[in-house]
Structure 1
């Protein structure tokens, strides 16, 4: 679960603190675990600053705090403050951008060869996959991995995310897909053909940011035509 820490302090020496934070960023390059940091200045009190730091999880935040550079910089930061900073630790329970990022990671994870990678960091255990081309409902992590294996065995492919719209727990994604038919797919032997299609998927995300449900719409008929599966029907 994403974790956010708020650091509230008062100082009239912001320029010095800013340089101190630049030093910390340089010294911890490649080691720090924070994914995003923002500093806000109170409009009614220029000495009042709030830093918002985001981490992938509480555990990663604790690992970051144990860096020797973090401890040293913190002591120097306290010396620049008029009073001791206060900390607020927050678990993120809703973030629409977090949902969008999870969906993007999902599309990046799908391509590859052989056995699909673990999806437990992206999908809920009871993930419900809706595809009008499937005769049976696909429910659960294992079922989703079997579904993905069919595509990975049949194609070298990649997705491109074209558009995303987020609202509440839903992420609507318009995507394009390009691949090469290198293996058997739905009874069609490998043709070596380059193929492409477009589609739109609506995802429902759980409170922890994992994808709980997905509804897929894509040009499967067009894909089958590109593979030559409709040639006999046209003659």
Structure 2
């Protein structure tokens, strides 16, 4: 599989950008007109908002972050990936202070790749339910 194959591009993004926090890889892999259609509003649809989610929300809160790709399906220029992002909850995550708990976020996303770069993203993940569990865990008597 050559480096520009859509699956290889998505794999590189998952390991180098999400897991390793590599900004140079992020810039190399994002098209200038990238749109994240899963963002809550138009202001957050660009590439920079996606970087912020990884760099400022997930990475500071999750230690020993691992990304496990379970499967990837490629159809033309779109790649569907089923994966798990896991680690230990060591920093504030969406308002919940560190619990030290092991967390595992399941993700399914679809990325459209053009010329070796991300041009569009759609995805669903279990982050909200994980945060709700952590909040309950935090509130329970010690």
Which TM bucket (shorter chain)?
0.7 to 0.9
Q: Would you say how many aligned residue pairs link Structure 1 and Structure 2?
A: 134
| Structure 1 residue ranges without an equivalent (≥5) | 1-35, 37-53, 57-94
State the Cα distance separating 1:104 from its structure 2 match.
Answer: 0.4
Matches within 5 A, 1:130-145: 130-131=37-38, 134-137=39-42, 138-145=44-51
State the Cα distance separating 1:229 from its structure 2 match.
Answer: 4.5
Is the Cα contact below 8 Å between 1:203 and 1:211 reproduced in 2? yes
Q: Tell me the C-alpha RMSD between the 2 structures.
A: 2.4
State the Cα distance separating 1:146 from its structure 2 match.
Answer: 1.4
More helix by share: 2
Q: Secondary structure at the match of 2:51?
A: helix
CA separation in 2, counterparts of 1:144 and 1:167? Answer: 24
CA separation in 1, counterparts of 2:111 and 2:71? Answer: 13
| Structure 2 residue ranges without an equivalent (≥5) | none
CA separation in 1, counterparts of 2:99 and 2:20? Answer: 18
State the TM-score, normalizing by the size of structure 2.
0.80
Matches within 5 A, 1:46-125: 98-109=5-16, 110-112=18-20, 117-118=23-24, 119-125=26-32
Instruction: State yes or no: 1:195 paired with 2:103.
Output: yes
State the TM-score, normalizing by the size of structure 1.
0.51
Is the Cα contact below 8 Å between 1:225 and 1:231 reproduced in 2? no
Q: Secondary structure at the match of 2:8?
A: helix
State the Cα distance separating 1:204 from its structure 2 match.
Answer: 0.6
CA separation in 1, counterparts of 2:119 and 2:137? Answer: 35
State the Cα distance separating 1:184 from its structure 2 match.
Answer: 1.3
The runs of at least 4 aligned residues of structure 1 exceeding 3 Å deviation read: 229-232
CA separation in 1, counterparts of 2:15 and 2:29? Answer: 11
State the Cα distance separating 1:187 from its structure 2 match.
Answer: 1.3
Matches within 5 A, 1:1-235: 98-109=5-16, 110-112=18-20, 117-118=23-24, 119-131=26-38, 134-137=39-42, 138-149=44-55, 150-156=57-63, 157-206=65-114, 208-229=115-136
CA separation in 2, counterparts of 1:230 and 1:185? Answer: 13
